[in-house]
């Protein structure tokens, strides 16, 4: 039988499939469909230091082969997460990535310090959210800004630190190198692309914030290219994501250089998608005679010929 286990930063994932932040909540709703313990991990709803109500107006809008969202990091805040959600998540017996966002550096630092002594396994630092009015995206565009926040957070963080990159960065490879240089233990990429939609009858943007985050199958080829480029530039583990809709997409990201993958918008279309991808990867490996995922990780960047 193929071995789907992946270990990064001394954390063991039973398989490479993680549900992406903001698409799986804290696992409660999806636990009604399948056992989340069968997943490699769960990235929490984006957490901020204090409770956040999120954006007003329309928050989701379908587009061709994709989804625009302007949620605005609605969440209960770190303290409420630790008290009310984390005990439940620990019962799921899978790796927990606490996704942390913030409006300013101090908010990030205080949130991470609160999470340091909890049972979470890793922190995923969100410097790449495109639909909040401050912080988030602002830190993920210029490398100099990212360097500062990653360095400061790393100095107080007691957990393995993953930095989530924005595809809207001025230079994604340079951004990745800067974050690693500043202390990132791993990288996850990519978050949503900046996009917008216009209501032609109302003659105004669909979203109150005008700009929203684009995800779904339409971004996959670009996300895949970015993962490929970053994987060749850095040596830290990479978690790839962006439009993964089935096991074939997941395998592509692994072959592009990802150690692990995250599934986002697909969770809204098919609540069983993450488990389907796990089973699909296993079946593919069995059929192809692949015993370990390390055999195909990054293979698309190497010379390989098949008869």
Q: Measured between alpha carbons, how far is residue 160 from residues 27, 120, 135, 236 in Å?
A: 22, 10, 22, 12
Identify the CA nearest to 196 among candidates 264, 130, 129, 263: 130
Annotated active-site positions, please? 129
Check residue 85 and report its DSSP letter: I
- Six-digit token string for 210: 């005008």
In the chain, what is the greatest distance between 2 CA atoms, to the nearest angstrom? 58
Within the chain, strands assigned E span: 6-8, 11-13, 17-19, 41-43, 60-63, 66-69, 95-100, 122-126, 161-164, 186-189, 193-195, 198-199, 204-205, 212-215, 238-241, 260-263
Cβ(209)–Cβ(180) below 8 Å: no
Distance CA 184, CA 245 (A): 28
Contacts of 38 (CB under 8 A, 6+ apart): 14, 94, 275, 278
Identify the CA nearest to 100 among candidates 116, 83, 84: 116
Length of the chain: 307
């Amino acid at each position: 039988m193929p071995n789907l286990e992946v270990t990064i930063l001394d954390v063991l994932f039973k398989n490479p499939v993680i549900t992406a932040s903001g698409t799986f909540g804290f696992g409660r709703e999806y636990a009604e469909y399948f056992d989340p313990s069968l997943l490699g991990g769960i990235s929490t709803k984006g957490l901020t230091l204090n409770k956040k109500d999120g954006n007003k107006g329309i928050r989701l809008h379908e587009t061709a082969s994709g989804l625009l969202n302007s949620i605005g990091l609605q969440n209960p805040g770190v303290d409420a997460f630790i008290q009310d959600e984390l005990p439940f998540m620990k019962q799921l017996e899978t790796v927990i990535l606490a996704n942390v966002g913030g409006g300013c550096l101090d908010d990030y630092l205080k949130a991470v310090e609160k999470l340091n002594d909890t049972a979470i396994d890793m922190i995923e630092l969100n410097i790449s959210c495109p639909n909040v009015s401050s912080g988030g995206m602002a830190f993920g565009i210029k490398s100099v800004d990212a360097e500062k926040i990653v360095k400061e957070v790393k100095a107080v963080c007691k957990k393995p630190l993953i930095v989530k990159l924005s595809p809207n960065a001025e230079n994604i490879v340079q951004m990745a190198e800067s974050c690693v240089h500043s202390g990132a233990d791993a990288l996850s990429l990519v978050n949503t692309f900046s996009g917008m939609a216009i209501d032609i009858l109302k003659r105004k943007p669909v979203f109150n914030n005008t700009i929203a985050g684009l995800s779904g199958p339409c971004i996959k080829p670009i996300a895949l290219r970015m993962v490929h480029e970053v994987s060749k530039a850095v040596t830290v583990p990479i978690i790839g994501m962006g439009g993964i809709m089935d096991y074939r997409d997941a395998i592509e990201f692994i072959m592009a250089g990802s150690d692990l993958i995250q599934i986002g918008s697909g969770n809204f279309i098919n609540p069983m998608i993450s488990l389907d991808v796990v089973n699909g990867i296993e079946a593919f490996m069995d059929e192809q005679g692949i015993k370990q995922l390390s055999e195909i990780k990054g293979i698309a960047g190497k010379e390989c010929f098949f008869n």
